[in-house]
Structure 1
């Protein structure tokens, strides 16, 4: 049985400009959540009894939005350099001196409970601790773009965060740090003050988001789950000259009757998407009693469902729609329907299927009283 962690506090440093990543990387979405929220949630879930988030001046509102709904954290204002931001966070946090404090960069969102545990437990035998990974790649020095010489990699480690210290240890070490020098990280400060810093096993997923391409890599590393949703819709026939099916208008001697444009294919597909997310149904989002949706184009409903999926960091994998009717004939229009759905959903054409069938003259569709549609959508979502 795993022993409980000691009581600890934490500082999440999020005061940098993130210019190399395009600016404001701590507020950008990763897996449907702001980058900073991943670290704060991980530390709170691990049992942080007090957590200070350090942001740049004037960024308090952004932090409040990014961390909405979370409790147990408070703000501190960052300084000109990272060391100044950490000092400010320590000042807001306060003692007691023996309390363990984790200092973590918000730009490392893939924080795992096991890393937190290893780092804290290492304080039992050292003045500081940090997760690190051995350097696996061969290293070269270069001059003017040309290789100069190889660098021996034995004994070289890639430092990560969170870094752990007793509150008194890190504050005393910073107090003795020369004002005219820049501190690379807190482990350097403590070591300079004579402290022993232990390296513990890091995590390859605990990468730092520095450049725009790092976000694509981080998205690929997120644990995800595949979900499937299904939808069904039916509308009766009435007087008219055309019918909308899967976003395509087809000339016909009747039309489908409904509050909106009665596109049964898009309605079934919208419900399939919402169902896969566990996000209600089309009637919850667009009530038929609301006059603003009278005659509305149903592609608005489908786009709304896709936007909700993307807001949660989800991805649409494929869709499959079956139209059930005696007429009109769907086959001549099927390719146009697939192309329209692919455009609406930003999917490749081979991820979109539209089929048609009849009920052999049985039931309400067989008698020509109405048309039905069923749809299946496959998505994946971050865990």
Structure 2
């Protein structure tokens, strides 16, 4: 089957800029970490870009604190440090992409515009496929515009020749590299300005009102209205259960933490019974099988693997479907060691792996009153329930 114009080959790379402090928004945290309609502002763009079929990799430009707070990155994504100016941040991302060919396609997007859609991405990439070296999304200016001086309105400005510029902006990587190499100062507010200075034409495609930029605190209410009701969501619930045998001379991993004990859990991976049950619960809510379907014990590459990789995979699958984790409830069943002293740390570690707030994570522990294999200290079991919000089909 021939490739359609709306389905570009997956060889584009995304640059997501999230290095600003967002002081004008007035938040205690950087604005890209503020919660918007159930998830951090930054996560909206990251999930949308990573889920698009034409984007094979990406670079997140963010401070270490912001990158850590957002949790594991999607497969194929790397990080770069932010610069003093926006232009510097893009240059740092280009350094990460130094081994890519000039004919690769790149999209540069500001995390402060969380409403990026697959439709806009598709229009931009289609413009490049049709021969443009650069393309940007724009919207018409609906308001009457006037010049203003000394507190008084002056002459009306013809809005017919004006447009509002948005991101993401798309380029052939070689074109963007030349534009930044030729830049003499950091005054450009977007990359298209630098490209036009080279004399390269920049195509325009239809933008999207949902790409409203988060600048001030009041913008959060606008974006909540634009994004919170833009997709009808349905609740999905999954359940997971796992058990592993306790054996001597092995480290004990539970809930992503190594816990000191005389015995560890036997298994092909690190046998983290809690993360295995939780991974199965998330995959079950997605209707995507279980942990063995994706990470079969017959595959030697998973021998001794850290189970947080399995849980991160499940979280990435949820993000790729445009979903979010509403709540998870984990119960660890063990006679020994005592789980109670580690509950808070396990809860925080799971929240970190899944990039969600700890308030959405419940961790409980119980025994079987010395009955059964757990009561005889032969093994440890765990069961988990996960509640997701997924877009309706």
Q: Distance in 1 between matches of 2:222 and 2:359?
A: 19
Check conservation: 1:225, 1:381, Cα contact below 8 A.
no
Q: Which residue of 1 is the match for residue 38 of structure 2?
A: 32
Q: 1:50 aligns with which of 43, 52, 57?
A: 57
1:23-70 deviation line (CA, Å, top 9, x unaligned): 510111112211111111111111321200111xxx324313314363
Q: Which residue of 1 is the match for residue 84 of structure 2?
A: 80
Larger Rg: 1
With normalisation by structure 2, the TM-score equals: 0.57
- TM-fit CA distance, 1:382: 8.0
Q: Which residue of 2 is the match for residue 122 of structure 1?
A: 127
Q: Which residue of 1 is the match for residue 211 of structure 2?
A: 206
Q: Which residue of 1 is the match for residue 242 of structure 2?
A: none
How many residue pairs were aligned? 248
Q: Which residue of 2 is the match for residue 137 of structure 1?
A: 143
Check conservation: 2:7, 2:122, Cα contact below 8 A.
no
Q: Which residue of 2 is the match for residue 217 of structure 1?
A: 222
1:306-358 deviation line (CA, Å, top 9, x unaligned): xx99978xxxxxxxxxxxxxxxxxxxxxxxxxxxxxxxxxxxxxxxxxxxxxx
Structure 1 residues not aligned, in runs of 5+: 230-276, 293-307, 313-379
- TM-fit CA distance, 1:279: 5.3
Structure 2 residues not aligned, in runs of 5+: 237-324, 341-355, 361-387
Q: CA, structure 1 residues 11+143, in 2 after alignment: closer, same or farther (shift >3 Å)?
A: same
Q: CA, structure 1 residues 309+39, in 2 after alignment: closer, same or farther (shift >3 Å)?
A: closer
Q: CA, structure 1 residues 142+280, in 2 after alignment: closer, same or farther (shift >3 Å)?
A: closer
Secondary structure of 1:165's partner?
A: strand
Q: Distance in 2 between matches of 1:5 and 1:152?
A: 37
Q: 1:150 aligns with which of 156, 162, 173?
A: 156
Q: Which residue of 1 is the match for residue 66 of structure 2?
A: 62
Q: CA, structure 1 residues 198+46, in 2 after alignment: closer, same or farther (shift >3 Å)?
A: same
Alignment of 1:1-383 (within 5 A): 3-6=6-9, 7-23=11-27, 24-47=30-53, 48-55=55-62, 59-68=63-72, 70-94=74-98, 95-123=100-128, 124-179=130-185, 182-222=187-227, 223-225=230-232, 383=391
- TM-fit CA distance, 1:17: 1.1
Secondary structure of 2:183's partner?
A: coil
1:196-217 deviation line (CA, Å, top 9, x unaligned): 1000000011111111011111
Q: Distance in 1 between matches of 2:359 and 2:152?
A: 45
Q: Distance in 1 between matches of 2:234 and 2:326?
A: 10
Cα RMSD (Å):
3.2
1:164-201 deviation line (CA, Å, top 9, x unaligned): 1111111111111223x511211110011011100000
Check conservation: 2:16, 2:59, Cα contact below 8 A.
yes
Q: Which residue of 1 is the match for residue 258 of structure 2?
A: none
With normalisation by structure 1, the TM-score equals: 0.58
Q: Distance in 2 between matches of 1:41 and 1:192?
A: 32
Q: Distance in 1 between matches of 2:107 and 2:75?
A: 18
